[in-house]
Structure 1
């Protein structure tokens, strides 16, 4: 097991990995290097589901209890379409502020003896002297990009535009709002992450984005326009943005990132530096924490570093396959929203919940809806659905 570890990037993956390694071997010398000042994290709230809490309790009950205590929860999904409100009951979900999550994990890490340094930039040509360097520096990882040829990094841009916003409206369910404009549809996903704030992600096609003038609007003007569009959702509460230094809004195009390999010598990728999945499945933080757990376990079970890193990569690649497929299909569902938005609201919301199905893109939506309802009662039809979907998806990519 490495005796000196440097984690580059102070996000959830690096911090949680440092916690687990210190629990496994308190003699480890571990430093987390974060280039930004303390408390300057981007983002609003993050989501996770009860399965992650179960895993966190197995790894470190103390940090799991702290995360749960500072989270808010919901069991319902609500969709607003054309003035209609549809409710579906689902699994227990949670939201927590990103800043609060990092604060909790950093506090736990320090309590175990980890050194957490802020405003400490680590350049690829000035790597820390350590037995293991963990690159948890995000989707734009400088440590990975310095060896992009070795890692085989592949980035694919999504079609739609999106922006992360906050609001003082506190939602009691995971809420969707689909609004039709003269330039096409625009929609929001909203969820609470504390008793005072919620996250609100707004997404639309590039045609709607330019048609509404959001590509040219100053950040404040864009927020005002979005506030009018989603007035019924916000109940008089404002949208809050974090604009760039030049006053423009932080509209993005999602980057789906993969790597051919995840390690190079004593350098290993973790979290968004290694892989990304579309935000519409709400799994980014969960995957980062699961990466940390898997890497720590591999290092405990395999004293040889090379063997441990290979084991970590094999396990996580296998674990990620179903979710990466679900994320790809989820992104495609939203990119093809006109295919579904004309359905009755309850059917449209049902297919929103089925957007991870590999069969859905290949059947007329109403036919799929009827088959899905029938499959709830007929086991043979359920098996046929599971068998046919992946085969159609593979054939379309061939």
Structure 2
């Protein structure tokens, strides 16, 4: 049955949902409304991992091929604390410019017959018509806000301050860099997204932020200071900011958003309008696209809209439990950085990789490190045992057969004698 869908928000989630719905049924009437002009996005690059690319390939091979073709990739992580550097192999990661990602998805949506309405603000009394209204307009969703307490929206604000930046330094891996200033530690996460640029997210504790004067500095002053602090990591490359309307640098405290319900009447929440997870786990775009896959699937399986929306919400809430837990503990790790930063480098780097653990905040770091190493050795022994077990069994069995055959031959010889 053909349905009319109005999607508010032209980010990755809204565009990908429109693609999937049109692929399921070309007769669906789908319009995506975006308040900003086409091509005006900010955010530099987004990161994702091989698992997401496999899912995109499964659901729309054409757009997946285009996304992969314009992505850069890495298979290592690098951590720098002052002059100390550790490099470790990791999962295959990808970075793509946010502008290019949206361009790919918008072109694909148009080719399937989706209407894209840019510079179209949803507010006041101009709520779009549709059998289904999709709120994909981000953490400050206007469509969600129109329904007051219908969704039960709550925010929890973290303590650290962070700033999204771009840089002309092209990292060759996902990079963590920690620098000690006279007012405390400041650090960034960096990853490449194109041949000439990387994303760089800077973070520090509130006392460091104020002590360095970053709370008072305008954009140019702030970038100059950060470039000096991270000069060794940036190799002389510049940082690129996005100034606020008053010329100040838009430092933020991360706000974790949750909703009691993800649907209200014929309105459903998608991506950051439904949930946010701390940027330190690099999952925002992935989760938004996975929301779109789940919603499209629920609408395909269920003929009734209430049943479809309930099934979508149930599926995604369950899928997000482990991710949201990892994000909470990752944020807490950085908020308690002094607990870990002065450990021996190999221990600090190991616990950086374990920052998602719910046990780590409650166990002395060095004890946790020792336990984790012991468990790792035990797991290695278990894997070796599982690998050796069948081989040893076959060898013993073969030797037993050979021994039995030898004894039989000797018995026969004795009887002949």
Partner of 1:359: 359
Alignment of 1:308-347 (within 5 A): 308-347=308-347
Partners in 2 of 1:349 and 1:325 — Cα distance? 21
Q: How does 1:45-84 map to 2 (within 5 A)?
A: 45-84=45-84
Give the structure-1-normalised TM-score: 0.94
Aligned residue runs from structure 1 range 182-201, under 5 A:
182-201=182-201
Check if 1:101 corresponds to 2:101. Answer: yes
Deviations along 1:284-341, whole A, 9 cap, x unmatched? 0000000000000000000100100000000000000000000000000000000000
CA offsets per residue over residues 35-86 of structure 1, 9 Å max, x none?
0001111211111000001111111111111110110000111111121111
Q: Which residue of 2 aligns with 1:279?
A: 279
- CA contact 1:73–1:94 (8 Å) conserved in 2: yes
Q: Which has the larger radius of gyration?
A: 2
Greater CA drift, 325-334 or 121-130: 121-130
Is the Cα contact below 8 Å between 2:2 and 2:25 reproduced in 1? no
Give, in whole Å, the separation in 2 of the partners of 1:13 and 1:225. Answer: 36
CA drift of 1:148 comes to 3.2
Whole-angstrom CA distance in 2 between matches of 1:246 and 1:116: 31
The 10-residue stretch of structure 1 (315-324 or 147-156) with the greater mean CA deviation from structure 2: 147-156
**Structure 1 residue ranges without an equivalent (≥5):** 383-398
Aligned equivalent of 1:249: 249
- List per-residue Cα deviations over 1:17-36 (Å, max 9, x = no partner): 00000000000110000000
Structure 2: gaps spanning 5 or more residues: 383-417
SS of structure 1 residue aligned to 2:253: coil
Q: Which residue of 1 aligns with 2:227?
A: 227
Change (3 A) 1:45 1:125: same
Q: Is 1:168 matched up with 2:153?
A: no
Q: CA deviation at 1:97?
A: 0.7
The answer to whether the 8 A contact 1:161-1:204 is kept is yes
State the distance in 1 between where 2:39 and 2:16 align. Answer: 17
Offset from partner CA, 1:216-266 (integer Å, 9 cap, x none): 001100000000000001101000101012110011110100000011111
Q: 1:149 — aligned with what?
A: 149
Paired with 2:365 and 2:205, the residues of 1 have a C-alpha distance of 20
SS of the residue corresponding to residue 256 of structure 2 reads strand
- In structure 1, what is the Cα distance between the partners aligned to 2:369 and 2:129? 57
1:243 is paired with a residue whose SS is: coil
> What is aligned with 2:291?
291
C-alpha distance in 2 between matches for 1:116 and 1:134: 14
- SS of 1:377's partner is helix
Name the CA shift for 1:274/1:306 in 2 (closer, same or farther; >3 Å).
Answer: same
Normalised by the length of structure 2, the TM-score is 0.90
Equivalent residue, structure 2, for 1:5: 5
Q: 28-37 vs 115-124, which deviates more?
A: 115-124
CA distance in 2, matches of 1:26, 1:180: 56
Report if the CA contact (8 A) 1:124-1:142 is conserved: no
Contact kept in structure 1, 2:11 and 2:102, CA below 8 Å = yes
SS at match of 2:77: strand
| Structure 1 runs, 4 residues or longer, greater than 6 Å off | none
The separation in 2 between residues aligned to 1:245 and 1:146, in whole angstroms, is 26
